[in-house]
Structure 1
Amino acid sequence: MEYLALPPGLVTTTTAALACGVQPATIRDWVRRGLLTRCGGTPKRPIYRLQDVLAARDAPKPSRMGQRNADHAA
């Protein structure tokens, strides 16, 4: 169940993903990697500041070993 209403500037995982054009799993990955911090909610229904979500979207992402990189595309 989603929240019925949130204060302005706060979003759920689903809404954050829609705002960034990514999957909800990507939002959860940003949290796990320390690029995004929850600002409330519950463990199963976290909420985030939209400003923080957009900053995480624009932050440089560290590459992982074996991950494809556009600079090295064949």
Structure 2
Amino acid sequence: MEYASLPPGLLTTSLAAMAAGVSPDTIRDWKRRKILTPCGGSPRRPVYRVDDVLAAKLAPKPTRTGQRAHS
């Protein structure tokens, strides 16, 4: 279930993914890796600020040990 309406400037995981041009799984990964922090909602239905999503998209991502570089 999605929220019926959100205050302006806030995005659900799905909307944040569309705004950043990534998948919802990537948004959840950024949250898990502390690249993106929810500003409200609930643990199962977090919401994010638009500015935070766009900043996370541009932020350098820490690499994982053994991760292959994308060419």
Output the TM-score relative to the length of structure 1: 0.88
Offset of residue 68 of structure 1: 1.8
What amino acid sits opposite 1:7 in the alignment?
A: P
Match of 2:27 in 1: 27
Offset of residue 19 of structure 1: 0.7
The CA RMSD over aligned residues, in Å, is 1.1
Match of 1:43 in 2: 43
Unaligned runs of 5+ in 1: none
Offset of residue 36 of structure 1: 0.7
Counting only pairs closer than 5 Å after superposition, residues 46-65 of structure 1 correspond to structure 2 as 46-65=46-65
Output the TM-score relative to the length of structure 2: 0.92
Unaligned runs of 5+ in 2: none
Match of 1:15 in 2: 15
What amino acid sits opposite 2:61 in the alignment?
A: K
Q: Secondary structure at the match of 1:47?
A: strand
Aligned residues: 71
Runs of 4+ in 1 over 2 A off after TM superposition: none
